[in-house]
Amino acid sequence: MVPSTDQLKSERILDELKARQRTKEVVDVEEERVKVVIFICGANCYAFYGADIREILPTCEISWVPCLPEYLPGLINVRGDIESVIDIRHFLGEHKSSHGSCLVAMAVRGDFHSGIMIDSIEDVVDIPLNSIHPPLTTLNGIAGDLVVGEIDHCGKMVTLLDIEKLAAKITL
C-alpha cells in the first residue's frame, strides 16, 4: 500500500492497528466455540452440549422401580444422591447394543437432572458454533423433536441433541 502523503505516520499506524483489531474481532466471532460430548447410542453417533453433561459414570447398577414407563429403567446411587435414569434409545428409535453394558451420562440443565444411558463415549471436542448445521428434515417423530442440529466429526454426521427438549418429553 502506498502511504498517503497528507496522512501523519501516527494516523497510518493507528489505522493499521484499528484494521487489525477489526480483523481480529471477525476472527473471534468466526471462532466462537462450544464444547460437545459425542457418544454412541445404538447404531448412530449423537452429541450433547458439554455444558449440560456433569459427568460420565461407568457401568453402574440400575435399580428397577415398578410402575415407571420403559424409558425410565430405574434409579442409580451417585455418591449418596438418588438419580433417575433415562433410556434415550426409546426416543431415538435405537436398539439395545449387543454387548449389553452401558454408561450413564449425568445431565443437568436448570432444575432438570437425570442420568442418560449411552453405549459409549466417542469424543469430547470444542467445535465452532457455525459448524452446527440445521437438523436434517428427514429426522421425523420423537427423535426429530430432540435435535438441535448436525455436526461433522471425523467425516461422520453427529446428531446434536437438546437436553431441555428431552426433559420436556418426560411427563409422568
Report if residue 66 touches other proteins, rule: CB under 8 A. yes
Q: Are strands 156-161 and 44-49 parallel, antiparallel or unpaired?
A: parallel
Query: For the stretch 38-60, what's the b/e string if a residue is b when 16 or more beta carbons lie within 10 angstroms of its beta carbon?
Result: bbbbbebbbbbbeebbeebbeee
- Using alpha carbons, select from 83, 110, 128 the residue that is nearest to residue 166: 110
Q: For the CB of residue 68, give the shortest distance to other proteins in the complex, in Å.
A: 6
Binding segment (CB under 8 A) for other proteins, from list 10-18, 39-47, 142-150, 164-172: 164-172
Report the residue number, 56 or 75, with the smaller CB distance to other proteins. 75
Report if residue 170 touches other proteins, rule: CB under 8 A. yes
Among 3, 6, 67, 137, binds other proteins (CB under 8 A): 67
Report if residue 65 touches other proteins, rule: CB under 8 A. yes
How big is the site for other proteins, counted in residues (CB under 8 A)?
22
| Residues β-bridged to residue 106 | 55, 115
CB 89 within 8 Å of CB 100: no
Report if residue 110 touches other proteins, rule: CB under 8 A. no
Report the residue number, 56 or 112, with the smaller CB distance to other proteins. 112
Q: For the CB of residue 90, give the shortest distance to other proteins in the complex, in Å.
A: 15
Can you read off the three cell numbers belonging to residue 9? 505516520
Q: Which of residues 70-89 bind other proteins (CB under 8 A)?
A: 72, 75, 77, 80-84
Output the CA–CA distances (angstroms, integers) from residue 163 to 9, 17, 58, 117, in the order listed: 55, 43, 20, 13
Among 28, 32, 64, 98, binds other proteins (CB under 8 A): 64
Give the sign of the dihedral formed by CA 141, CA 145, CA 146, CA 151: positive
Local structure of residue 134 (DSSP, 8 states):
P
* Residues in contact with other proteins by the rule CB under 8 A: 61, 63-68, 72, 75, 77, 80-84, 111-114, 167, 170, 172
